[in-house]
Amino acid sequence: MKHIWKYLRGYKKEVVVAPLVKMFETITDIVIPLLVAKMIDIGVHNKDLKYILIVGSIVVAMNIVGFICATICAKLAAKTQAGLSYDIRKGMYAHINTFSHAELDKFGTATLNNRMTHDVARVAQGISNFLRMALRSPLLVIGSAIMAMIIDIKLSLLFLIVAPLILIAVFVILKITTPLYNKTQKNLDRVSEVTRENLAGVRVVRAFNKQDYEEERFATASNNLRKSAVKVVSISSLLNPITGTVINFAIIAVIWFGGLQVNVGSLTQGQLIAFVNYLTQISMALISLANLIISFIKAANCAKRVGEVFATQPSVQENNSEFIELLQNKEVPKIEFKNVTFKYSDSARPAVSNLSFKAYSGQTVGIIGGTGSGKSSIAHLIERFFDPTKGEVFIDGINVKDYSFKQLRGKIGLVPQKAVLFKGTLKKNLRFRKEDATLEEINKAVRISQSEEFVKDLADKYDFKVQAGGKNFSGGQRQRLTIARALVGDPEILIMDDSASALDFATDANLRRAIKEEVNATVVLISQRANTVRNSDIIIVLDKGNVVGIGKHKELLDTCEVYKEIYESQLK
């Protein structure tokens, strides 16, 4: 909860004023039954119209004051709820953006989405309910009980029976439902996860005629959510009938024994009505208090889930936010790996083992190997998405850990394995790396990436509307546009992570030729194609995370059996 309090400090005025005005409303609720009793016992009994009008006017005025106080409290609570939701989500989103890939993989997209939307909403709603009811319910119970004791101490002993019964009911129901709320949240995460997978992979699902299977999978997850939600609601909904039944029997007892006292003259009719009103107020306050506790339990459970996100610190920390002035020295390697070993936290073996190489400015580094050999892990280490388990990575002779993220990644143009475009105009997508890129820079990047042939045919050219994920482009077009996006702004290092897999051989060859002739950058080509990397200045051959060869194409054909097998299987 400490992470929530940090954001709640910005609403000190609302947190203080809302309960105070609610207290004034509660005082009016406590006083009004006593005034009504006076109207009956004095005004009605003595047929004193003037007294009735005076006391009645006071009652009306107090009702108006109570209404105004309730309105102010509701407005302040609503403002706190909406503002707190905004602030927590904003802070949570910013914190999630500091996560490395390890933390993102740990939580998963579906649960992070649920925690940022549903859980934050529950937390804010719980705090809003707390502001409106936390002071009112106990004060109403205590104030009504005192007033009832003032009227008749013997009759008020019924409270000693009613209150424990209601508290026992609340305690038992909360004990049963608390773990069920947590289970329901996990089931909700599962529904979100299945839904996201299904919608993201809808083409694959339809291609394999798996609609029935996916519907069954969704139905199973949804049914588990339904069962847990129905169970928790069924149990928690027993609270109102149980407390209502106890209170109704208490009211019957009050009317029965109070009526006997009215007959003997030890209690007036107005006092009996006031006593019943106080008992009703106490019952409503206890029910509200029970519902508040349930709401608070839900909010606390959600706050715990939100707190887990805030408490998680990124495994890759930014050690320096200052800009490092670099001297241009061609003798210093642009990229250098020194005895680098890297293992994912959930992996049994290293993704990369004891890798050392140097790449100078303008050189091309080819990385080749089978699926799962650790090729993409090298790109992740250069970008510092992960830190090496052992060894060091240097850019321009400086350890990547000493750079700020902005400066380090500002040097690099990354073309990821999965071509992702964002909803908006094509121009906005191409300017994603450099917001103020000129039209000349964009045209150059489009030409080099071999995208010019289809971009010029678009109706609005660079103002063309890109659908979410770039679904209105083919796979090869998306890959070429992501290459163009990485080229905008002339990066010092260009990493192409298997980014030509959807291109035909001729386009791939033209692309590599254009990059070599027109791009003044150190290029890292990650591929499973020998033809893509064969002209690289350095070729790194990986096999199950182990470096089995480093050298040029002709050298590796003679010295590296793995590279020779890949080359001959593809090209000979």
Task: Please report how many Cα atoms fall inside a 13 Å half-sphere around the Cα of residue 525, on the Cβ side.
Answer: 28
Question: How would residue 394 be classed by pLDDT, with cut points 50, 70 and 90?
Answer: very high
CB 164 within 8 A of CB 263: no
Would the pTM of this model clear 0.85, i.e. be above it? no
Can you give the residue range of the structural domain that contains 512? 335-571
pLDDT at position 2: 73
Residues 141 and 21 in one domain: yes
pLDDT at position 1: 63
Can you tell me the distance from the alpha carbon of 447 to that of 443, in angstroms, rounded to the nearest whole number? 6
Q: Each residue of 410-465: pLDDT tens digit? A: 888 888 888 888 888 888 989 988 888 888 889 999 999 888 888 888 888 888 88
Residues 163 and 233 in one domain: yes
- 328 domain residue, yes or no: no
Between 87 and 2, the higher pLDDT residue: 87
Q: Over 80: is that where the pLDDT of 95 sits?
A: yes
Q: Each residue of 28-52: pLDDT tens digit? A: 888 888 888 778 878 777 777 888 8
The rounded mean pLDDT for the chain is 84
Instruction: Name the token pair of 96.
Output: 């999630």
Task: Give the CATH number for residue 562.
Answer: 3.40.50.300
Three-state SS string across 146-214, please?
A: HHHHHHCCCHHHHHHHHHHHHHHHHHHHHHHHHHHHHHHHHHHHHHHHHHHHHHHCHHHHHHCCCHHHH
CB 334 within 8 A of CB 398: no
Residues 402 and 290 in one domain: no
Residues 369 and 472 in one domain: yes
CB 30 within 8 A of CB 144: yes
Which among 78, 76, 81 is positioned nearest to 4, based on CA atoms? 81
Q: How many domains does the chain have?
A: 2
Which CA distances in Å does 68 have to 55, 74, 540?
20, 10, 75
pLDDT at position 327: 63
> What share of the chain has pLDDT > 90, as a percent?
5
Residues 273 and 403 in one domain: no
Residues with Cβ within 8 Å of residue 205, at least 6 apart in sequence: 198, 211, 214
Can you tell me the distance from the alpha carbon of 20 to that of 24, in angstroms, rounded to the nearest whole number? 7
Question: How would residue 68 be classed by pLDDT, with cut points 50, 70 and 90?
Answer: very high
Helix (H/G/I), strand (E/B), else coil: 319: coil
Question: How would residue 6 be classed by pLDDT, with cut points 50, 70 and 90?
Answer: confident
Residues in the chain: 572
Q: Each residue of 145-180: pLDDT tens digit? A: 788 787 777 777 777 777 778 778 877 877 787 788
Residues 161 and 205 in one domain: yes
Residues with Cβ within 8 Å of residue 263, at least 6 apart in sequence: none
Residues 257 and 398 in one domain: no
Instruction: Name the token pair of 95.
Output: 């914190």
Task: Give the CATH number for residue 240.
Answer: 1.20.1560.10
Residues 370 and 307 in one domain: no
Residues 290 and 344 in one domain: no
Query: Which residue, of 276, 311, 346, is where some domain finishes?
Result: 311
- 206 domain residue, yes or no: yes
Can you tell me the distance from the alpha carbon of 543 to that of 351, in angstroms, rounded to the nearest whole number? 10
CB 165 within 8 A of CB 248: no
Residues 267 and 359 in one domain: no
Query: Which residue, of 311, 343, 365, is where some domain finishes?
Result: 311
Residues 267 and 208 in one domain: yes
